[in-house]
Amino acid sequence: MSLTSGLRPLPRSDAEAPPLHVAIIMDGNGRWAKARGLPRTLGHRAGVTALKRTVEAAQQLGVGRLTVFGFSTENWSRPAQEVSELMSLPKLYFESDLARLRREGVRVRVIGRRAGLSKDVLSMIDEAETTTAANTRFHLQVAFNYGGRADIADAARRLAEAVREGRLDPAAIDEAAFESHLSTAEHAAPDLIIRTSGERRLSNFLLWETAYAELVFQDVLWPDYGPAQLKAALDEFRGRDRRYGGADVDDVLATG
């Protein structure tokens, strides 16, 4: 079974199971800055440092794939100065850490719409993806100018175009076919979704892919995040009973 076939993440008990996939909604940069009397832009820059710590920690804690939410399609509505700062963050991150990522076998992939991104940001994304394309030790997926609804709409449009051009029979469209047209099709769905800052919502992140993911909400602002917080989330995840919509065998036997 390929990593991209079917929506449901595979159980972790099998030694043949794919690497653990963790996704993080990195929330709280603005509140972190406000609490310190700093501009929000400095909170976002502190968040880049937290991302570096967390990527390194994920590699050490047995995570094989990490997806992070960097900029949503809804973030364009923020003040122009903040949008400009957010747009610069991928460049800031990759310029400062790409050499290490490449050296340590990390493959970088950026998902989300390219429209609206500046040439320098697009160039940096292309460099990060191209120079790490052969790496397999760890996968880092950055959702940038990404929205779950937008991705679903884009996938539906691609399917509709395939039908119109005679390349696809509408009767062949099932969940697997639809999923293969999402920007996340290269990897299995996440096993665990983490959101920081104490908020308890998905905010349009990986809406299709989270159907059977475990959710952990942590009351820590993203710039303060690091190895200890990630380990705590993983410990909680590993204590969960994942049923994928089925019933617990003991419960079934008990009720006859």
Q: Which residues are catalytic?
A: 27, 75
Looking at the DSSP bridge assignments, the partners of residue 141 are: 67, 109
Under a CB-based contact definition with an 8 Å cutoff, are residues 94 and 48 in contact? no
Of 8, 5, 2, 34, the closest CA to residue 197 belongs to 34
Of 155, 162, 153, 149, the closest CA to residue 179 belongs to 155
Under a CB-based contact definition with an 8 Å cutoff, are residues 75 and 86 in contact? yes
Under a CB-based contact definition with an 8 Å cutoff, are residues 32 and 222 in contact? yes
Give the C-alpha separation, 231 to 227, whole Å: 6
